[in-house]
């Protein structure tokens, strides 16, 4: 780690509270100004080389050493050497340097502090300015007392037998380095990494291959070989990851691979394999590489998640709290959602851990480049907190729960519009790439993954506002708040590059006729990845409008016409994308999630509206009944096609059963006038989703309501179907 600027005065004090004098001034009984690295008197006399501060000046030394004149001959190094943590030029490190006792408080300018316990070798993480220790840190700073980060004592816990066996399982998985290479090559064909940069993965892979070859060549039996190297990786993971402003991505990557391999590195490899496994269809050739079926999609996904859990647990037991661990914890959430579904408790609790780790690292505050943070690490932290904040709003919205992180206490920064290769370039080349940007956006060539992420990030704060509208109990003027969010939404859309504002429905119609259609302003063809990203951006925009309209109807009993229009718009977009599912065959997970999150809720709203109007049987009704019936008929086979081994299969099945009930009801009986009061019954009824504030509970009710009994429509009857749905909601929320 690079050296830090020395304090103004020596921090050591005598018993009487006075600052300690340097040895030349003390012996001559002259006043000393206690400056570092040499006092002013010694500087003026030209004797700076012998100006040092003895930690125990009155301690007697043996006769053999009493005649030593140099501080280094007594094993005492100058203060500047002690602060820098290494020997001064020309001095041999023959004896251990004497370390000054320093307070266990680390100050973080304008943010808070990281406090190290005086009795426990455990970093408790970021602590903000409201803490007592922040005041102490400010006091230390005003007195010129500096506490180096190197004063943190690293954990030295030994590996247990069970941990060694678990680590051996992870290493055994990576014996097949060819399988890992296939997944790496397949992922990077489409673009950059999700979090970690493509060049870093390459450096890691090269080092891993060399290590695995050495493991195979060891003379011990397989089990002993694995346990031996598991112990070695355990020790590596106990060491901090060092960085400085001029460090290259390769230097940083080599600290975590080869002989320096860490559990976090293996966890990142497993995350990449798991992400690709979740996206590709089950019939993809990459899952047919093992005759025994070990690489079959569902088995590989579960195996990958299990090993990810092992790597994360071992990293935490080693005392790691770094950028790599935070990435591993977040990537594990994505894999859990694929295996167990987004409504699983494991997903929520695992994501809580990822959020807590980010906050403990101080990533929720403004991220800056400094003496210890090179550009690529700065960019990684921007990406990391950006995706954590985004996922937080997604899960909170879908589950109807308060978010873990609020923008009111955070600084949500947008990543740069740079490719992975550009992020890891030399500073001059990277700056040249940034200079070619117009208003912080690239203007030529194919958009990077970071380009789409930046476009998506423009709406981050609005998503939290929408969440507050939907589940917040203290919203006063709901309509005015929604109008404000819509105005902000328009500004956010206008700030996106032109190709990101392309109408997705028109684009899909065009691509069906001309698959080589070019992007507006870019001159490059649309790829499945680009179409998937565009679809995600616009689905998010329409879903926000749907949520606000539904909140207005549920909370104010307003006319549902705008909710119906919003539902039709959102469902129409999803079905457009379903129509090109073969074109997007490598994004199966995105398709499944879109059906569960963006298709079933508006379809449920439209289905109930049709049932209500079917009871009314108004001859002047202008509701597009035929169009909605056709949309529901198209949606059903798409829901049926979701594989049982996908995490959100249960949600899709729930929606499928509800829609099937509606179609049976509408198509198997003649339309007869209803006997209920239609002027206000629908809007006053709590059964139209009122008090069901999130999509997961809404789907629970929709799948359990008995449409054959007319009680769900009549506000004077406590429908049994709703009671069943409410009971299911309580069960689901536990």
Q: What is the pLDDT of residue 94?
A: 35
Place of tokens 């770094």: 322
d(Cα 240, Cα 343) in Å, to the nearest integer? Answer: 35
Sign for the CA dihedral angle at 224, 227, 233, 238 comes to: negative
Q: What is the pLDDT of residue 27?
A: 82
Per-residue pLDDT tens digits for 149-189: 444 444 456 788 888 999 999 999 999 899 899 999 999 88
Which H, E and C letters describe 164-182, residue by residue? HHHHHHHHHHCCCHHHHHH
Q: Extract the residue ranges of the chain whose pLDDT is less than 50.
A: 1-7, 61-122, 149-155, 674-692, 707-734
Peptide bond into 37 cis (omega under 30): yes
Q: Please give the span between the terminal C-alpha atoms of the chain, in angstroms, as a whole number.
A: 47
Q: What is the pLDDT of residue 420?
A: 95
Nearest to 515 by CA among 497, 530, 503, 537: 530
Q: What is the pLDDT of residue 119?
A: 35
**Cβ-proximal residues to 310 (8 Å cutoff; 6+ apart), any chain:** 166, 167, 169, 170
Q: What is the pLDDT of residue 125?
A: 60
Do the beta carbons of residue 529 and residue 536 sit within 8 Å? no
Give the CA count within 13 Å in the CB-facing half-sphere of 317: 20
Element containing residue 126 per DSSP (H, E): strand 123-128
Per-residue pLDDT tens digits for 267-289: 999 999 999 999 888 888 888 76
Do the beta carbons of residue 206 and residue 177 sit within 8 Å? no
Do the beta carbons of residue 144 and residue 7 sit within 8 Å? yes
Q: What is the pLDDT of residue 9?
A: 60
Beta bridge partners of 126: 114
Element containing residue 112 per DSSP (H, E): strand 112-116
Supply the angle between the helices 177-190 and 198-217 in degrees, to the nearest 10.
170
Kindly provide the b/e burial profile for residues 276-308, where b requires at least 16 CB atoms within 10 angstroms of the residue's own CB: bbbbbeeebebbeeeeeeebebebbbbbbbbbb
Q: What is the pLDDT of residue 295?
A: 76
Q: What is the pLDDT of residue 127?
A: 64
Nearest to 396 by CA among 407, 382, 383: 407
């Amino acid at each position: 780690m690079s050296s830090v600027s020395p304090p103004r005065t020596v921090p050591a004090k005598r018993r009487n509270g006075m600052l300690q004098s340097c040895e030349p001034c003390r012996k001559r009984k002259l006043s000393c100004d206690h400056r570092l690295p040499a006092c002013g008197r010694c500087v003026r006399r030209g004797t700076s080389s012998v100006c040092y501060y003895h930690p125990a000046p009155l301690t007697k030394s043996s006769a053999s050493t009493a005649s030593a004149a140099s501080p280094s001959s007594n094993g005492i190094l100058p203060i500047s050497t002690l602060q820098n943590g290494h020997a001064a030029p020309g001095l041999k490190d023959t004896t251990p340097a004497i370390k000054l006792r320093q307070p266990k408080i680390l100050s973080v300018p304008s943010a808070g502090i990281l406090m190290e316990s005086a009795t426990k070798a455990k970093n408790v993480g970021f602590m903000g300015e409201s803490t007592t220790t922040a005041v102490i840190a400010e006091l230390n700073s005003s007195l010129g007392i500096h506490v180096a980060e190197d004063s943190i004592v690293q954990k030295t816990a030994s590996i247990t037998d069970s941990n060694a066996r678990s680590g051996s399982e992870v290493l055994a998985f990576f014996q097949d380095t060819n399988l890992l290479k296939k997944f790496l090559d397949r992922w990077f064909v489409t673009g950059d990494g999700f979090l970690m940069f493509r060049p870093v993965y390459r450096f890691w892979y090269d080092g891993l291959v060399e290590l695995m070859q050495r493991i195979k060549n060891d003379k011990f039996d397989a089990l002993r070989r694995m346990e031996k190297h598991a112990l070695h990786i355990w020790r590596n993971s106990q060491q901090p990851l060092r960085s400085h402003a001029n460090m290259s991505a390769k230097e940083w990557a080599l600290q975590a691979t080869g002989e320096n391999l860490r559990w976090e590195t293996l966890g990142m490899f497993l995350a990449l394999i798991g992400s690709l496994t979740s996206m590709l269809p089950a019939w993809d050739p990459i899952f047919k590489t093992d005759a025994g079926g070990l690489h079959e999609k569902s088995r590989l996904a579960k195996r990958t998640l299990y090993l990810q859990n092992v790597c994360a647990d071992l990293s935490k037991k080693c005392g790691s709290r770094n950028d790599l661990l935070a990435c591993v914890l977040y990537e594990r959430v994505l894999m859990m959602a694929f295996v167990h579904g987004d409504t699983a408790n494991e997903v929520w609790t695992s994501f809580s851990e990822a959020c807590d780790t980010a906050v403990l690292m101080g990533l929720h505050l403004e991220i800056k480049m400094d003496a210890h943070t090179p550009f690529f690490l700065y960019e990684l932290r921007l990406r990391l907190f950006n995706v954590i904040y985004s996922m937080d709003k997604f899960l909170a919205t879908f589950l109807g729960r308060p978010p873990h992180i609020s923008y009111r206490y955070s600084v949500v920064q947008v990543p740069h519009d740079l490719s992975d290769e550009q992020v890891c370039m030399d500073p001059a080349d990277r700056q040249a790439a940034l200079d070619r940007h117009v208003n912080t956006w690239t203007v030529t060539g194919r958009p990077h993954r970071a380009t789409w992420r930046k476009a998506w990030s423009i709406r981050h704060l609005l998503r939290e506002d929408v969440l507050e509208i939907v589940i917040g109990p203290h919203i006063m003027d709901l309509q005015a708040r929604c109008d404000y969010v819509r105005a902000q939404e328009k500004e956010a859309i206008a700030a996106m590059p032109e190709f990101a504002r392309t109408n997705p429905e028109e684009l899909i119609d065009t691509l069906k006729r001309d698959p080589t259609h070019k992007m507006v302003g870019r001159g490059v063809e649309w790829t499945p990845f680009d179409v998937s990203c565009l679809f995600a951006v616009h689905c998010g925009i329409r879903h926000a409008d749907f949520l606000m309209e539904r909140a207005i109807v549920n909370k104010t009993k307003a006319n549902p016409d705008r909710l119906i229009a919003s539902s039709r718009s959102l469902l129409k977009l999803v079905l457009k994308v379903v129509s090109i599912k073969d074109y997007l065959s490598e994004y199966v997970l995105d398709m499944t999630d879109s059906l569960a999150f963006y298709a079933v809720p508006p379809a449920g709203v439209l289905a109930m509206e049709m049932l209500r109007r079917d009871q009314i049987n108004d001859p002047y009704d202008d509701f597009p009944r035929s169009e909605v019936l056709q949309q529901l008929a198209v949606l059903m086979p798409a829901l049926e096609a979701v594989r049982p081994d996908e995490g959100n299969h249960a949600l899709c099945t729930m929606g499928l059963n509800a829609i099937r009930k509606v179609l049976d009801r509408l198509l198997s009986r003649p339309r007869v006038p209803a006997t209920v009061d239609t002027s206000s019954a629908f809007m006053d009824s709590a059964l139209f989703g009122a008090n069901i504030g999130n999509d997961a509970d809404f789907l629970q009710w929709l799948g359990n309501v008995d449409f054959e009994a007319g009680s769900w429509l009549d506000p004077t009857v406590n429908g049994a179907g709703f009671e069943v749905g409410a009971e299911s909601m309580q069960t689901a929320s536990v």
